Amino acid sequence: MTPRPAQGVWVAPGRVNIIGEHTDYNDGYALPIALPQVVTCTATVTTDAVVQVSSKQHPGQPTRVPLRELADSPISGWARYPLGVVHEFLRRGHALPGVRLEIDGEVPVGAGLSSSAALECAVALAVRDLFELEVSTRELIDIGRAAENSYVGAATGTLDQSAALLGTAGHALFLDFATGEHEPVPFDLAAAGLQLLVADTNTPHRLTDGGYGQRRRECEDAARELGVHSLRAVTEPDELRRLPDPILRRRAHHVVTENARVLTVVDLLRDGSDPRTIGPLLVGSHTSLRDDFEVSTPQLDAAVQAAIDAGAHGARMTGGGFGGSIIALVDTDRVDAVAAEIRERLHARGFASPRLFVAVPAAGARRTA
């Protein structure tokens, strides 16, 4: 019998969401891509009943917590994400003798590109494989979500973990959160003479600060008043007239129309349409997130408008909002001009200089050594 390896290396990617924002916890649809930028976890079996966590990005903050004390650990900050994942394995009845987790990350933190889910998924995959646990990919997604919801305190859905674990190179990932079904959708922009430009506005968002959780509660309240299990059950915006509260009506309107936009984008890409045709839907998504869901910022709005003014076929904020990044669908020969306009527009408004790069669909989480 081959002995179980005592160490290994796993990676999980960040993600860009093409469209489908704040739909995951409403049982809706989304269309993310996994990014080439990854979080790396080197995991080693130990026998001291302790979880040890260290990070190259935080060299002065190594953490050691006895497994029996994980449930009540007061540790905060970045280390709470991997600790939460280990705690979730233990809570679900998986016995671990101890583990050392060494983290290295290249996904920008706070940029709305899901560095947290990349960290959770790299650790979750490492723990499962290292200890040969009978845990499905679907349960790994839920372990990451549970760690972020219950241990970290961010009321997110499963979009980010799904993208990190299920993404495939050259494809976007169509997610149906009501059924758990997923489908790769061709997303070869280069063949169409296009690129997906990402502009991180350098305004870090923090999903634990309350705004995200408030939006989730508002969506739940709207569904309850409409007498449905989730807003996924509502397909016609006219049905929302039954909501007397204008705030709940706007929140629900975003979710209902965003689900429709995702389905339209997926149909266009499946049919081999020119990807430029999805541009107006990206703009519509941003407008809805700005006006109905109220999760955009002046920096995100300025970057989106700059991209459109410079010739982008479409642009929108991506991620949970309250800061972070935008995406812009741009002809390859216009990328530099659009990037320059975004930089100049943000500088003119006195905002921080953005970080810009081109995103391509990459592979999901995997073992590399």
Closest Cα partner for 221 from 204, 188, 243, 200? 243
Phi, psi dihedral angles at 14 (to 5 degrees): -75, -175
Consecutive H or E run containing 122: helix 115-130
For the chain, give the longest Cα–Cα distance. Answer: 66
Compute the distance between CA of residue 99 and CA of residue 51 in angstroms, rounded to an integer: 5
Is residue 63 helix, strand or coil?
A: strand
Phi, psi of 64, deg, nearest 5:
-130, 125
| Active site residues per annotation | 160
Q: How far apart are CA 169 and CA 266, in angstroms?
A: 17
Across the beta sheet with 314-318, what order do the strands follow?
314-318, 325-331, 194-200, 355-359
Do the beta carbons of residue 262 and residue 246 sit within 8 Å? no
Residue position matching structure tokens 């996994």? 34
